[in-house]
Amino acid sequence: MSLSRREWLASMLGAPLVATLAATGCDAPVTRRRELAGALRGPSMEHGHLLRNAATTSAEAQSAASGPLHDVLVLGGGPSGLSAAWELLRRGVRDVRVLELEREAGGTSAFGTSAVTNYPWGAHYLPSPFRENADLIALLREMGVVTGLSSDGDPVVDEACLVREPDERHFYRGFWYAGLYPYAGASPEDIAQLERFKRRMGEFAALRDARGRRAFAVPVDESSDDSETTQLDRMSADAWLRRESFTSPRLRWLCEYACRDDFGMGLMTTSAWALVHYYAARMRDATSEAQDLITWPEGNGAIVKHLTRAVGDRIASSF
Ligand SMILES: Cc1cc2nc3c(=O)[nH]c(=O)nc-3n(C[C@H](O)[C@H](O)[C@H](O)COP(=O)(O)OP(=O)(O)OC[C@H]3O[C@@H](n4cnc5c(N)ncnc54)[C@H](O)[C@@H]3O)c2cc1C
């Protein structure tokens, strides 16, 4: 049986597209498609709707809904919920229940397994903690990742978990370039603005309020709430860049990337505070580079794995 050109295109591209192209008088592009196995991960609509319908599937979920009262219920078994439960247990609160919507805990820090290696589904690294990040250091000590303190009080991280030279690159008009900043073709003015931007972020990293708190810290709660810094939350990243005369399209692209990477939003909808936090919170002081990164084969799923083990059968899935 021979196929007409239109039938062949339909079989390759899908009939609706060919119909559209035919209607517009265009020739369909001949594209080679390769089916990739897999599925999009994301919240389970099916189980989310159970909440809307006030229904439950498993005996476990039913008993969680109508069963005995607990001292603390934690909703969501991502890193936030799991670490809340972990901290409660550390403080002696034993009757904690974590209710998770999905089959497995982990949220966007979940990981998968294969015959070759474990691998992250989402979050893949953690900046090394500063000495003042006591809770994170306690967790990483428990995991065996922080092995001690240096003579000047900084946490010592197991070398096997450190990435000292993360190899980032970007793809532009068909070519890969090293790093995240598009240096190729940058003008002297572009470079001057980039350097000025780095210095500005260094100043924010070094900024301390009257109580000695970092202006921009991780966790966010430890950042200063002085109006000097929080006023940046009342203007967009775009407005701040313009106010500071950061007009270089390449620099603006880099900042846009940062906003999309961490907040899923662009320069117009991300606050100036959040943009500055993205850079300044990761630097120890004005001149240092960003902290070394900690990672595992399963990315931050290693933390989920550890916390899940610690919280144990106090986690109830809706499945
Ligand atoms: C692609 C990607 C890459 C990332 N890379 C990094 C990285 O390299 N480093 C880094 O530090 N961070 C990274 N992040 C961010 C990191 O994954 C998140 O900051 C972190 O997982 C947030 O944890 P969370 O517990 O607050 O939320 P989530 O991880 O979103 O967890 C929320 C949990 O609550 C559950 N839930 C939701 N609704 C309900 C309900 N009604 N009842 C019960 N349970 C519910 C969800 O199923 C989920 O398990 C990345 C994120 C993504 C998506």
- Summarize pLDDT for 106-117 with one digit per residue, the tens: 999 999 999 999
pLDDT on residue 6: 44
pLDDT confidence band for 22 (50 / 70 / 90): very low
Cα distances from 290 to residues 46, 179, 198, in angstroms, run 41, 14, 11
Whether the per-residue pLDDT at 234 is higher than 50: the answer is: yes
pLDDT on residue 167: 80
Q: Closest Cα to atom 34, ligand 1: which residue?
A: 76
**Beta-carbon count within 10 A of 264 CB:** 9
Q: How far is the CA of 294 from the centre of ligand 1 (A)?
A: 18
Q: How far is the CA of 191 from the centre of ligand 1 (A)?
A: 35
Q: Closest Cα to atom 37, ligand 1: which residue?
A: 76
Task: State what percent of residues in the chain have pLDDT above 90.
Answer: 63
* Residues in Cβ contact with 149 at an 8 Å cutoff, skipping those fewer than 6 apart: 131, 155, 156
With the most atoms of ligand 1 within 8 angstroms of its CB, the residue from 99, 109, 282, 303 to mutate is 109
Whether the per-residue pLDDT at 55 is higher than 80: the answer is: no
Q: Which is it for strands 118-120 and 111-113: parallel, antiparallel or unpaired? A: antiparallel
Q: 139: helix, coil or strand?
A: helix
* Residues in Cβ contact with 212 at an 8 Å cutoff, skipping those fewer than 6 apart: none
Q: What angle do CA 47, 313, 52 make, to 5 degrees?
A: 20
User: Looking at ligand 1, which atom is closest to the CA of residue 44?
Assistant: 47
Q: How far is the CA of 298 from the centre of ligand 1 (A)?
A: 15
Q: How far is the CA of 108 from the centre of ligand 1 (A)?
A: 4
* 280-289 mean pLDDT: 84
pLDDT on residue 42: 72
Give residue-wise pLDDT tens across range 193-202: 999 999 999 9
- As for ligand 1, residues whose beta carbon falls within 6 Å of it are 43, 51, 75-81, 99-102, 105, 107-109, 122-126, 300
pLDDT on residue 214: 94
* 219-227 mean pLDDT: 92
CATH number of 45-109+302-317: 3.50.50.60
Give residue-wise pLDDT tens across range 184-194: 999 999 999 99
Torsion of CA 249, 250, 253, 255, to 10 degrees: -110
pLDDT on residue 11: 41
Q: Closest Cα to atom 27, ligand 1: which residue?
A: 78
With the most atoms of ligand 1 within 8 angstroms of its CB, the residue from 40, 98, 104, 108 to mutate is 108
Q: How far is the CA of 52 from the centre of ligand 1 (A)?
A: 22
CA distance 152 to 49: 53
pLDDT confidence band for 152 (50 / 70 / 90): confident
Across the beta sheet with 293-294, the strand order is 126-127, 293-294, 162-163
Please tell me which residue, 65 or 255, carries the higher pLDDT value. Answer: 255
Q: How far is the CA of 82 from the centre of ligand 1 (A)?
A: 11
Whether the per-residue pLDDT at 75 is higher than 70: the answer is: yes
Q: pTM, whole model, 2 decimals?
A: 0.80
Q: How far is the CA of 138 from the centre of ligand 1 (A)?
A: 21
When mean pLDDT is compared across 104-118, 152-166, 200-214, 278-292, the lowest value belongs to 278-292
pLDDT on residue 24: 40
